[in-house]
Structure 1
Amino acid sequence: MEYINLGRTGLSVSRLCLGTMNFGPQTTEPDSYAIMDRALDHGLNFFDTANVYGWQTGEGITEQIIGRWFAQGGGRREKVVLATKVYGKMGDWPNDQGLSARHIIRACEDSLRRLRTDTIDLYQMHHVSRATPWEEIWQAMETLVAQGKVLYVGSSNFAGWHLAAAQESASRRHFLGLVSEQCIYNLMERTVELEVIPAAQHYGLGVIPWSPLHGGLLGGAVRKLAEGGAGRAKSGRAADALAEHRPTIEAYEKLCSELGHDPANVGLGWLLTRPGVTAPIIGPRTTEQLDASLGALDVTFDDAALGRLDELFPPVGKGGPGPEAWAW
C-alpha cells in the first residue's frame, strides 16, 4: 500500500479510502466486517463514513456497524484513520441538522457513542451551511479538538470560495481549520478543477474524491450489461446517463482494454495522477470488489493515454483552473 500525507498535516493515509456507505443498506454486517478486515490486511488505513449512512433518520446504522467491528479489538481502531461527517438530518426537530454549534457538539457525541471510540480522526462538514457564521462553527470545532474528541476537521461539497472563507476565518482564530475537502470528482465530472482544487491546494487541503466511477458508469458498465450484470446501470438516473453517454463509455472501455486494465482501475488510477488528490473513495460491496480496486495502484499512464482520456472526457472550458479555463 502507498501512503500520503493528508493535505498539509503529518497524518499518513492510504492512497485509497474505504467508503462505508453500503454497510447496512447493501452489505450485511458480517460482510462489512470482512471488508474492513481485508482492508487492513491490504494496509488500507483510511475509512470514511457519515452519521446519516444507513438512511434511517437518527439511527447512524453504518456508524454502529463500524463501532461493533472496532469493539472486536485486535488493534482495529488503532490502525484506522477514521473519518465521519456532520450536517445531515438526524431527527425531526429544527436543530437536529446543520452546522450550529449545538448540533455539531451533540452530533459528535452521538457519533462517538455509535462508533465506540473516544476520538474521531477527521470530522467533516458534509455540506456548507450558509446560515451559520464561521465564528460559531470554529468555536464548536475548537471545543471538540481541545477535548480530544476530534483531531482534524474537513469539509465536503464546498465551493472554492467556501474553502477560502473557512480558512481565513480559522486563521484569524489561530486555528488549523480545514485539512481536507471531499468532493465529487471523476473523469465525467471535472467541475472541481476550476476552483475547488486550486483553492484546496492553496490552503493545503487534501482532496478526497467521492463517486470516483460516476455511479459505476466508469467501472465497465457496458461490458457488465452485456454479461448480464451492472445492476446500477439498468434503471434510474444511471441508466439515463449511460444511454446519454454510451458511445463515450464504449470508447473508454475499449481504451481500457488497450491499456490492459479494468475500467474501474483506470478511473481510479487517473484520479491518483491528478494534482492535489489524496485518496479516492472506493465503496466495495464485497471483499472481491475491494481486492480488485487495489489494482488501481498499479495503473500508469503515458502522455498519449492521458491525452486520449482528455479527448473522451474533456475538462470544463479550456481546462485547468479559472479564470484561464473560461477567459484569457
Structure 2
Amino acid sequence: MTMNRYTLLGRSGLRVSPISLGTMTFGDEWGWGADEATAQRLFDLYVDEGGNFIDTADLYTEGTSERFIGKFVAARGLRDQLVIATKYSYNAQAGNPNAGGNHRKNLMRALDGSLKRLNTDYIDLYYLHTWDRMTPVDEVMRAMDDAVRAGKIRYVGLSDTPAWFAARAQTLAQWRGFEPVAAMQLEYSMIERNAELEFADLAVELGMGLVPWSPLGMGVLSGKYKPSQGGATSGGRLDTVLAQNPGAKPPPGFDKLTERNFRIVAELEAVAREADRPMAQVALNWLHRKRGVSSIIVGATKPEQLRDSLASLEFELDPALAARLDAVSEPGRPFPYYMFEDGHQARIHGQVDVSSKSAAYDRPVHVPAPRT
C-alpha cells in the first residue's frame, strides 16, 4: 500500500488516499498546535507524497485550520486535485442556541462560513460533526441533500453519532432519493475498539466508509508513553488537556492513561520491536487491516511525525503479530454483543463450519498503475 494507491470512500466513487491529513493541529489557539509555517510544511509534505484527502472542521482552532487550508490550497493551485472534508455542529456564538446544532439553520450558517474560510465554492465531503440528540434525522438529511443540489457540497458524511442514527439516515436517503452517506467518522484505535461492535458492520452493509480519528489514541500508541521507560508523559494534546484539570477526573474521551491501555502499549512495544518498526507505524498498520476502514485521519505538529505515520503503509504486519495485538486489545462484549461471538453462534449453526460467502466472492477490484 502507498499514499497514491487510492481507495473508494464507502460505496461512492470518490477516490481517497489511505491516510487523510488531520488538521486540528493547524493553528496554535488551543495551546498544542502548529504555527502557519509548520502547518505549511505539513501540508506540502502530505500532498508531495501523493495524499489527496484533507480533514478539518469549522470548530478547529477557532477557524484557523480552515483558513490555513484555503490559503495553502490556493497557493499551489490544487483545489481540483484534493478532497477537502469539513464539519459543522458546534456552537459559534455563546448565548445563541441556533448558532450550533445539527439543524438546517445552523448547517446553512456553518457551511457558508466554511466555504469562505476555505476560499472555495464547494466542499467535497461535509460531515455532521456530533449528534445533538435533538434534531430529527430527516431534517439533517434533507438539508444535506439541498446543499448537494445547490452545488455547495459533493458528498455527505456523519461523525460521532449513534449507529441507529446513521442507519436511519442512510435508509431515508435510499427511500427519498437524498444524497447517501458516504463516510462515517469515529474514534477508532487499538485502545478504543468499540466501533467494531456496531459500526464496522454498519459501514460495510450500508456503504459508508469508516474514517477513524485519533488512531494513535491521543498519542498513547505513538511511542511517547512506553512502559519500559516508565510511561512518562509527552507534553502533547492529551497532557495539555489533563494539565488544565489537575487532580480532576479526565474529561470524557481523555481518560486514556489507564492500566488496561498500558497493557496494550506494552504489547505494542514488544510487537514493534519484533517487527523492527516504530510503535506508531505498527498501530496504524494494524488499523488499516480493519473491516470497513476507507482512510485513517492522522494529525501531526512536526514533519517527522507525519513522515513516520505515512511510512506505516510501507509494510505488511505479520498476521501472528497482528493477532497478538488483537488479543490484548479485545474490547468488552456487553449485551447483546456477546451473543454474536463464535462460541454462541456455533449453537445456531449446528456446530459445523459455515461461511457467509465463498473466499472468491466480491473480491476488491484493483486497477494497477502502468509499470514504467
Q: Does structure 1 residue 12 correspond to structure 2 residue 15?
A: yes
Q: TM-score, normalised by structure 2?
A: 0.81
The residue number in structure 2 matching 1:177 is 180
Identity rate of aligned residues, in percent? 36
Per mean C-alpha deviation after superposition, the further-off stretch among 263-272 and 170-179 is 170-179
Alignment match of 1:286 (pick from 276, 281, 302) = 302
Kept in 1: contact 2:227–2:265 (CA 8 A): no
Task: Map 1:202-213; keep pairs closer than 5 Å.
Answer: 202-213=205-216
Q: Secondary structure at the residue paired with 1:181?
A: strand
Aligned residue among 22, 39, 44 for 1:37: 44
1:13-63 residue CA offsets vs partner (Å, 9 max, x unmatched)? 000000000110210011111111111100011000000000x4xxx1211
Give the Cα–Cα distance (whole angstroms) in 2 for the partners of residues 225 and 98 of structure 1: 44
- Of 242, 257, 265, which aligns to 1:242? 257
Provide the C-alpha distance between the structure 1 equivalents of 2:194 and 2:137, rounded to a whole number of angstroms. 25
Deviations 1:165-194, CA, capped at 9 Å, x for gaps: 111111221123211000011111111101
Q: Secondary structure at the match of 1:175?
A: coil
Matches within 5 A, 1:123-272: 123-223=126-226, 226=229, 230-232=234-236, 236=242, 241-242=256-257, 244=259, 245-272=261-288
Conserved in 2, the CA contact under 8 Å of 1:200 and 1:207?
yes
Q: CA 1:171/1:247 → structure 2, altered by over 3 Å: closer, same or farther?
A: closer
TM-score between the two structures when normalised by the length of structure 1? 0.91
Which residue in 2 is equivalent to 1:91? 93
- Offset, 1:159: 1.9
With 248-257 and 212-221 compared, the bigger mean Cα shift is at 248-257
Q: Point out the structure with max Rg over C-alpha.
A: 2
User: Are 1:261 and 1:299, in contact at CA under 8 Å, matched by a contact in 2?
Assistant: no
Q: How many residues align?
A: 323
CA contact (8 A) 2:285 2:312 kept: yes
What is the CA deviation profile of residues 171-230 of structure 1, one whole-angstrom value per residue up to 9, with x for unaligned ones? 221123211000011111111101111111111000000010101111112349949872
Deviation at 1:323, TM superposition (A): 4.7
CA distance in 2 between partners of 1:120 and 1:169 (Å): 22
Residue identity opposite 1:287 in structure 2: P
Q: Give secondary structure in 2 for the equivalent of 1:176.
A: coil
How far does residue 248 in structure 1 lie from its aligned partner after superposition?
Answer: 3.5
Which consecutive residues of structure 2, in runs of 5 or more, have no partner in the other structure?
A: 243-249, 346-372
Letter in 2 for 1:79: Q
Q: CA RMSD in A?
A: 2.5
Asked if 1:82 is matched to 2:84, the reply is yes
